[in-house]
Amino acid sequence: MKEQELIPHLFRSEFRKITAVLSKIFGIAHLEIAEDIASETFLLAAESWPFKGIPENPVGWLYKVAKNKARNYLTRQQLFTDKVAIQIGNSVNEVNEELETEWSDQHINDSQLQMLFAICHPAISAEAQIGLALRILCGFGIDEIANAFLTAKETINKRLFRAKEKLRTEKVKIEFPAGAEINRRLTTVLTTLYLLFNEGYYSESQDAILREDFCLEAMRLTYMLIANEQTNLPAVNALLALMCFHSSRFEARKDSNGAIILYQDQNEELWNDELISKGVYFLNQASRGNEITKYHLEAGIAYWQTIKTETQEKWENVLHFYNQLLIIEYSPAAALNRAYVISKVNGNEAGITATEKLNLTDNHYYYMLLGELYKDINIQRAKDNFNKAFSLAKTETEKKIIQIQSSRLELDIE
């Protein structure tokens, strides 16, 4: 891998690790210092690697540079040396020792999880918690976070700034919460990881329909929660099961040109049986206890989607899960999906009735579904709905999908 490809890849995976470790050592009040040191580390890599070549151990090189820059900061900044060490309860020598020893895989993993829980503190809003986690630990840019929240990037910048200030004033520590508090914080942690996975799997930013790195990182962080005894809980297992089922269809979702392949057109021989098996395992693990979360229900839906055979049992089970999901947490996307499932159980006319009741006239998926359901009933109405969907689509990828569906309709007319 060339440096112009490797550095962005490592930035995604290592920036948050460096930031988490340094923040754990310096304290969350000095989060910006940790971020700055991590940024300077990658800037040096971008400046030196093209000329000196990629180091034999690129990740080790990054960690070494980050440690040296942190030590240099301690040496240069007398104010930091005099006051910060006192604030975090360590001497400067102890801070330097931590800089040397805190880079094992276990320490890095613990620092990331502890940072994730620190960010998800009740002192700040749920939106700010998710935004901070996406920025610091998941490698999201401000534009991407704004896209996830459907808001302006200036709003996100202000929200993150206020959240960081609140964490400072509350003197939040980077550590695992005690007792029942860990369950309360876990709700936001799981929401963050769910959003991260969805940003990869259903991404509309940068016209990319599938950003596999985002999905894999979300799965990695979720697995870290499962590997930790305190957070190995049913909801976490259900979320990882959901991710495994969806990820099993990675290879089948795109053609050689990167265009999306719709579910009904996918080659199931390309589905990853190993990931499906892992999904089944984690879904079974999630059955412990009496709580049913939205992750359980979505994982159940995703499981039945790994069964390509069209049977009444399949769609009735999926409809049952959607009915329960809309009770727990309503969303227009879930309601649209349920309407499609109704068409599979009770026919296209029933699906059309269920869809039109939603009246989501500003949603291109609404018109795409109506176009699909009308194609065997009224071709002109199908065509009109696809045209409306095309006019509302935001990305070139979406427009290509609509064009494919519409072109099939034209073939039927001929």
Q: Which residues partner with 254 through β-bridges?
A: 260
* pTM attached to this predicted model: 0.81
Show the 3-state SS of 336-393: HHHHHHHHHHHCHHHHHHHHHHHCCCCCHHHHHHHHHHHCCCCHHHHHHHHHHHHHHC
Confidence band, pLDDT 50/70/90 cuts, at residue 207: very low
| % the chain with pLDDT above 70 | 89
308-to-16, 46, 263, 267, 304 alpha-carbon distances in Å: 38, 46, 9, 10, 8
What is the C-alpha radius of gyration for the chain, rounded to an integer number of angstroms? 24
**Side chain identity, residue 389:** A
300's tokens: 């159940």
d(CA 399, CA 390) in angstroms, rounded, equals: 6
**Nearest Cα to 169, choosing from 129, 216, 101, 121?**
121
* Residue 150, pLDDT score: 67
**Side chain identity, residue 56:** E
Confidence band, pLDDT 50/70/90 cuts, at residue 340: very high
Q: At what angle do helices 312-328 and 332-346 cross, to 10 degrees?
A: 150
* Residue 3, pLDDT score: 65
**Side chain identity, residue 260:** I
Q: What are the φ/ψ torsions at residue 254 (nearest 5 degrees)?
A: -130, 145
What integer is the mean pLDDT of 187-214? 74
Query: Among the listed ranges 37-41, 65-69, 197-201, 341-345, which one has the minimum average pLDDT value?
Result: 197-201
d(CA 234, CA 289) in angstroms, rounded, equals: 7
Confidence band, pLDDT 50/70/90 cuts, at residue 91: low
Name the maximum alpha-carbon separation found in the chain: 80
Q: Is residue 87 pLDDT above 60, yes or no?
A: no
d(CA 287, CA 234) in angstroms, rounded, equals: 7
d(CA 89, CA 360) in angstroms, rounded, equals: 56
Round the average pLDDT of the chain to a whole number and report it: 86
Q: Is residue 307 pLDDT above 80, yes or no?
A: yes
Enumerate the domain spans of the chain.
1-103, 112-232
What integer is the mean pLDDT of 180-207? 79
253's tokens: 């979702």
d(CA 242, CA 247) in angstroms, rounded, equals: 9
Q: Is residue 353 pLDDT above 90, yes or no?
A: yes
32's tokens: 């910006």
Report the first-to-last Cα separation within the chain, whole angstroms. Answer: 49
* Residue 358, pLDDT score: 96
pLDDT tens track for 22-35: 998 888 888 888 98
Q: What are the φ/ψ torsions at residue 260 (nearest 5 degrees)?
A: -70, 140
* Residue 88, pLDDT score: 53
Helix (H) or strand (E) holding 50: helix 31-52
* Residue 367, pLDDT score: 94
